[in-house]
Structure formats: structure tokens, C-alpha cells
Chain A
Amino acid sequence: DTAVSQTPKYLVTQMGNDKSIKCEQNLGHDTMYWYKQDSKKFLKIMFSYNNKELIINETVPNRFSPKSPDKAHLNLHINSLELGDSAVYFCASSRLANYEQYFGPGTRLTVT
């Protein structure tokens, strides 16, 4: 029983396409996150939601839009994909103000 799951695990698509990555957690956590791991291997926070409310929104292009239909899900939709969007995207969850985050396995996005 996976704690934080992401689908798909791999995503290869062409520039200009629109794609979504789904994330689900079954830990009962109230806070969820999206991170991008770039080519230099840094994990950078993109968004954070608490109880379906956006609490962190870093300087991410408007082409990226997170959607949280409920506390257990935080999906990431990306419009007009660009080459620079190629990266590994990690979803994570935690209890609010609890420092321990649980990460999903990551989605490797390749834009050609």
C-alpha cells in the first residue's frame, strides 16, 4: 500500500502539448507539495496546498497549474510544454507544521 503515489512514472511528449501528472496520498495528511528536480539535481518547491488551499506558489510560469480536488490529491497540469520543463517532478505530503515529508517516486518528464 503506497503512501504517496504519482502517475505516470515516465512521460515523454512534444513541445507545445498539454499534460497532467497526478498525485495521491493515503496518509491522511493535510498538506501536499510539488517539487521540481532540475538538471543540477536541486529539489525546488513549486507549490504547496493545505486542505485544498494554495499556501505556497513559487515563481513558476503560469503554464503550471496545480489542482487539488480533495485533501488526498494534488494534480499538476502543464500547458504548452517547453524543452526546459524536462525534469523529475516529485509530489510530497505532510501534516501541517510537521517537518517530515513523504515523497512520491517521481515523474520523469521529457519534452522533445
Chain B
Amino acid sequence: DQQVKQNSPSLSVQEGRISILNCDYTNSMFDYFLWYKKYPAEGPTFLISISSIKDKNEDGRFTVFLNKSAKHLSLHIVPSQPGDSAVYFCAALPRNNFNKFYFGSGTKLNVKP
């Protein structure tokens, strides 16, 4: 019973273009959402987050959009760079337990030079 889903296992984008990574969730109790980036043989690293009271959060080239009614969030990377090639995990936190993270299965992004 996966409550956070990333239905695209991989995505390939040309350098300089926009990368859009998607994430869907089922639990309406989720109150906070995060994106992590993972390189091979390393642990995930925090990238950007968004609270459920917002619908957009921007940090440099990275923007996360939240659509609560659709239970959907997305990460936009503009412009994409080859160094962005990694696996991106979406994660969610329920409002009644801010230590229990629910992760998706990841999307592998390949940015081609």
C-alpha cells in the first residue's frame, strides 16, 4: 500500500530544457512534502520542500508545485543541467506524525548534454 507514488521510473531531457518530475499521493493527512536527490552510491540529499498551505515554492532553478485537490505535486527544474542527472524521490509527512516520512520509488532523470 504505497501512499506516495512516482509513476515515471525514468525521464530524459535535453540540457537547457525543463525537467518535470511528478508525484501523486493518496493520504489526505499529508501536510508537508519534500523532494530529495540521490546520486549513485550516495544517500538522498534534501532538495526542496513545500507545506500544504502553499501551492508553490521556488529555490533557484527548482520549483515545487502542489495541487492538493488532485493530490499531486511536481518538481520543475529550469534550465536542466547534466549535473542534475540523478534519482529524485518525492516524500510526504502526515500532520499527526512529523517524523514518519513516506517516500516514492524515485524517478531517474537523465539530462543529456
Contact = CB atoms under 8 A, between A and B. Distances in A.
Nearest to B108: A41
Given A99-B93, A100-B46, A31 B105 contact: no
Given A42-B2, A48-B99, A105 B32 contact: no
Contacts of A4: 43
B42 to A, nearest CB: 5
A79 interface: no
B105 A99 contact: no
Interface of B: 2, 32, 34, 36, 41-46, 49, 87, 89, 91, 93, 97-106
A27 interface: no
Interface string A95-111: 01101111111100000
Contacts of B32: 99
A6 B41 CA distance: 12
A76 interface: no
Contacts of A12: none
